Structure 1
């Protein structure tokens, strides 16, 4: 018998000499990690199902401590996102011009080419590259996305995708009636309580500096993104006759609210940063996508191009993100990066560019960040400084003078052990939603502030957010009483009734988290025992 240390040394020597065995070990390790990661995310642990017994009862909003010890054990701080330290060799300014970054190269012999990233005709899943166009000085680009390659002495030294928001110079002004814009910025899987814990700087700035209203009773309507996003932007239930979802059928004909903005002459933008699980392309949501680009500016082709050129969508990528969440790094740069920027910063930057390109115009934006927060709750905190910077930008650049901002989510964490705890069950069903209102409107319509302040503690849902957006576009800010029987969707500008129930709001038994009260006989044995116990333990 050989001693263990001898066997270990011989095996190590064998692996060093044999390239095939090293590769086989590497592949097997990745397969094992991939299987474990997929099981960890989607199949384990078992999910407990809770059902509310009386959704007809008047709702009492649960008061929950965001720092409850039952929850805090699931949270830690991952290492900061580290992206490439090499700055881009080329860059876009804000006038549709692509420049060489002279601080990166002093070579006079450098030559570059760009190719437009083109969405294939009637295809929401594939892109292609246009003809190669060579340049060695600044050049005007008349499209949003390009792939750039640069060469020195025939050797490629740079290859990267770049983006801008191209507005044709001949395009007309898009706000003839001075209407208010709607800016929706979403983070997937973020509860209100998680936002308090994980985004303290952003939430503090929203409430203290922007006067945001953060609604404590905002409740999800379905499990994943589509059942919660569809009511928000169409006013209809997903997977119903109102909003049918048919496998591989396109979503173009649904009454999205951005069509209302287009009819008013406004500019529209839609961005989701993870193509594989995009709301309208995911297989469990029908997977049909859109026949035509749904909005004037649509960033999906850019992210598809990234995934065609890198391994972002391979099973290996899930493993890398899983390990990164545990602060185990297999690379000097983060999987959450593309080039010198993190993916959520790219989304923020494109959002800013759209706002600047249409600064004085009527606008609608829907930005949805999946990559950072969908699978791992602890990555959210890594965006706090960047989101604070965004909120500061919106204020200092004056965009909130004529725009309503909705900073929100679809639901809380769904893929962790968190939701099997009593607090986690509530968090999953109570996503973040905050609303920032132009300051001058509060003075012109005092009822607006009073009603919004009251509604912070009332039961609300995505149907109410939709009705609010409709009121914004129709400039319907005057106080109105809510009709009886209560409609399913009530604008947040109206005083939402205190006795509203989950049934009134269209929230089913599975998602209703309201507390309710019942009359009981004070002489019943159970009540007597409870009273005796409480009085005996009062200090």
Structure 2
């Protein structure tokens, strides 16, 4: 009679555990392969389906000329990018409302202290422009002079006549330069003791139309405020009081989803204020391609902008009094070495303030 042979318990246990691990590995592998296949199916079918829904699907052949219906007349064909697909996947925008305090970015938000808190002023403003009148406020004995500055296009300044400052003087210009020297300082080559620029919106009353003229129809005042290089979410986080005042007191409307079309302010200023692009956007799986309005940035840099479709011109044509004030002399349409406007484009043009 044969006796039943019993295997050691530890051998049976190890074999069972090994089989379970192999089964789990095979299951995970099948799940991974399945997810990859689903992702490929989603990319191949879902994006074109969404594009068809929104009328944004555009099939193109590699090397074929770009369709230009609705665009400016092209000067050349846009070459497709390397290894371009025959179908465009992402030539549409999913515009969502972004949360400025989203949990995914909260760790990157590091508010800094107010650097102006407990700041001691060392430079004082000795001159003030109050309701169109210029005054000198100083305990020092100084001799002060003033002159008007007038813009002549983007590249030139016309300097007015130099006059001594008498308290209550009414400068007849937008920008006034004040320069003061201590009594006894007659060396004009040395930098003055005090120098300041004041700005106002000067209206020549003598040139205003008589009241007997028919009253023009009422129009809304339009103010466009641009904070360069600041996203809307960063604006909400950094300047909450400012955005509250603009929205609640002035009923300001933010330009949501305004995005850039190029690097730096120059191409984006053209798109926003001229309605034109200075460079092509090439064909790729993420764009059907768009033609720029110029051959290159160098071409538009050499052309004066006085005959362009600048938004300020449209408001002037509609009877508005216009103003443009930038925070530095090299403005959006002339940086770094562009011609810009040959003639002053606005009624009040304060670039050098």
Whether TM exceeds 0.5 here: the answer is: yes
- After superposition, the CA RMSD in angstroms is 3.3
SS, match of residue 293 in structure 1: coil
Residue 202 (1) aligns with residue 242 (2): yes
**Matching residue of 1:443:** none
CA displacement, residues 83-128 of structure 1 (integer Å, 9 cap, x when unaligned):
8454422221223x21222xx2375xx4321133344x55x33546
User: Aligned partners of 2:253 and 2:167: how far apart in 1?
Assistant: 48
Higher relative contact order (CA 8 A, sep 6+): 1
User: Aligned partners of 2:144 and 2:234: how far apart in 1?
Assistant: 45
CA displacement, residues 294-320 of structure 1 (integer Å, 9 cap, x when unaligned):
111111133xxxxxxxxxxxxxxxxxx
**Matching residue of 2:349:** 298
User: Aligned partners of 2:165 and 2:255: how far apart in 1?
Assistant: 52
How far does residue 206 in structure 1 lie from its aligned partner after superposition?
Answer: 4.2
Residue 221 (1) aligns with residue 261 (2): yes
User: Aligned partners of 1:266 and 1:243: how far apart in 2?
Assistant: 33
User: Aligned partners of 2:220 and 2:296: how far apart in 1?
Assistant: 31
Residue 61 (1) aligns with residue 95 (2): yes
Compare the two structures and name the one with the higher helix fraction: 1
Q: Which residues of 2 match residues 139-178 of structure 1 at below 5 A?
A: 139-155=169-185, 157-172=193-208, 176-178=216-218
How far does residue 134 in structure 1 lie from its aligned partner after superposition?
Answer: 1.9
SS, match of residue 180 in structure 1: coil
Q: Is the 8 A contact 1:236 1:243 kept in 2?
A: no
SS, match of residue 261 in structure 1: helix
Q: Is the 8 A contact 1:268 1:296 kept in 2?
A: yes
2:293 aligned to which of 241, 246, 258 = 241
Q: Which runs of 5+ in 2 are unaligned?
A: 1-86, 186-191, 280-291
Name which one, 1 or 2, has greater alpha-carbon Rg: 2
User: Aligned partners of 2:170 and 2:304: how far apart in 1?
Assistant: 34
**Matching residue of 2:147:** 115
**Matching residue of 1:40:** none
How far does residue 183 in structure 1 lie from its aligned partner after superposition?
Answer: 0.7
Q: Is the 8 A contact 2:326 2:351 kept in 1?
A: yes
Count of aligned pairs between the two proteins = 240
CA displacement, residues 349-396 of structure 1 (integer Å, 9 cap, x when unaligned):
xxxxxxxxxxxxxxxxxxxxxxxxxxxxxxxxxxxxxxxxxxxxxxxx
Q: Which runs of 5+ in 1 are unaligned?
A: 1-51, 303-539
CA displacement, residues 311-339 of structure 1 (integer Å, 9 cap, x when unaligned):
xxxxxxxxxxxxxxxxxxxxxxxxxxxxx
SS, match of residue 98 in structure 1: strand
Q: Is the 8 A contact 1:113 1:150 kept in 2?
A: yes
How far does residue 140 in structure 1 lie from its aligned partner after superposition?
Answer: 2.2
**Matching residue of 1:395:** none
User: Aligned partners of 2:178 and 2:255: how far apart in 1?
Assistant: 44
Q: Is the 8 A contact 1:234 1:254 kept in 2?
A: yes
Q: Which residues of 2 match residues 20-419 of structure 1 at below 5 A?
A: 54-57=89-92, 59-62=93-96, 64-67=98-101, 68-70=103-105, 72-73=107-108, 75-77=110-112, 79-81=114-116, 84-95=121-132, 97-101=133-137, 104-105=138-139, 110-119=142-151, 124-127=154-157, 129-155=159-185, 157-172=193-208, 176-208=216-248, 212-214=252-254, 217-239=257-279, 240-241=292-293, 245=297, 246=299, 247-276=301-330, 278-283=331-336, 287-302=338-353
User: Aligned partners of 1:215 and 1:297: how far apart in 2?
Assistant: 24
The TM-score, its normalising length taken from structure 2, stands at 0.57
How far does residue 215 in structure 1 lie from its aligned partner after superposition?
Answer: 6.0
